[in-house]
Amino acid sequence: MPTEQQTPAPLPPTPRTHAVEALFSHGRLVAIPRKEARREQLLTHLADTLFERERSYTEREVNEALLTVHEDCSALRRYLVVAGLLVRPRDGSSYRRGR
């Protein structure tokens, strides 16, 4: 008896819990993720969307850009520098996009 091949039913759409957009509400970052991998994903997104390559920024400009998404701009700035996404000279006079 020939068996009828059935096409598998399409999978239901998965919630976008792992998308960076899930960390935002009304354009504002709800909280800085504690998990390192998730925070790295956020920081990469922030570096890509807020800072141009080949441009130098003052600390004030970096803070102003970060304040558009979260009130703790100093923590975000520090995380971006530690992750190598923003680099600065020892004197902290300017910031540039890193990797």
Q: How far is CA 63 from CA 66, 77, 85, in A?
A: 5, 7, 15
Q: Greater confidence, 23 or 7?
A: 23
CB neighbour class for 38 (10 Å; exposed up to 12, middle 13-18, buried from 19): middle
Rounded Cα distance between 83 and 87, Å, is 9
pTM given for the model: 0.78
Percent of the chain whose pLDDT exceeds 70: 82
